[in-house]
Amino acid sequence: MFTIAESAEIPAHPAIIRPVVPSNSDLVAVTAIMAHYVEHTVATFNEIPPTTDDWAQRHSELIAHGLPFLVAETDGEVLGFAYVAPWRSKSAYRYTVENTVYLAPGATGRGVGTALLAELVDRSAAAGCRQMIAVIADTGSAASVRLHERLGFVDAGRLQAVGFKHGRWIDTRLMQRDLTASP
């Protein structure tokens, strides 16, 4: 398990990065975190929040593929989640995955995202994945881009006006990391 030390203004409780346990409240927390982003931001192109049952199905599918689905927690509170899913369904893409990382609104800026993504990269490489793709919505904030750059992702392109949400067209930025190389 990967742990992080919190900053001075945050209580000195390390966040623990671990696999999702569907039988406890992990998926309820994941559902709530994602619902915030679906309803209030353009960070995700989902327009209807996935239900806890949807997350249970996704968890089962990812585990069946040997792919990681992680949460960060402190004192039993889930601060964020991350997982990888197949990049595309065609068989030639089988060694390439797309990452997803979301944090509870109060958990940003504390190193939790870095810890989650670092562990996700390590576990994905251990699972035999060779390339990781990040599809980042252009929300006007560079936080996600900076997070990915810190962990060795490089620019791979931009798709213009590919999403329409909350009354506006949104670009996506593509970033990529070779999982066979050190960052």
User: What residues contact 41, with CB distance under 8 A and at least 6 apart?
Assistant: 139
Range of the domain at 37: 2-178
Secondary structure (DSSP) of 118-156: HHHHHHHHHTT--EEEEEEE--S--HHHHHHHHTT-EEE
Note whether residue 92 is domain-resident: yes
Provide the H-helix boundaries in 41-98. 52-64
Distance set, CA 46 to CA 21, 24, 102, 173 (Å): 24, 25, 13, 17
Separation CA 140–CA 118 (nearest Å): 24
Q: How many domains does the chain have?
A: 1
**CATH number for 135:** 3.40.630.30
Note whether residue 183 is domain-resident: no
Digitized pLDDT (tens) for each residue of the chain, 183 residues in all: 333 333 334 343 478 999 999 888 999 999 999 999 999 999 999 999 999 999 999 999 999 999 999 999 999 999 999 999 999 999 999 999 999 999 999 898 889 999 999 999 999 999 999 999 999 999 888 999 999 999 999 999 999 999 999 999 999 999 999 999 876
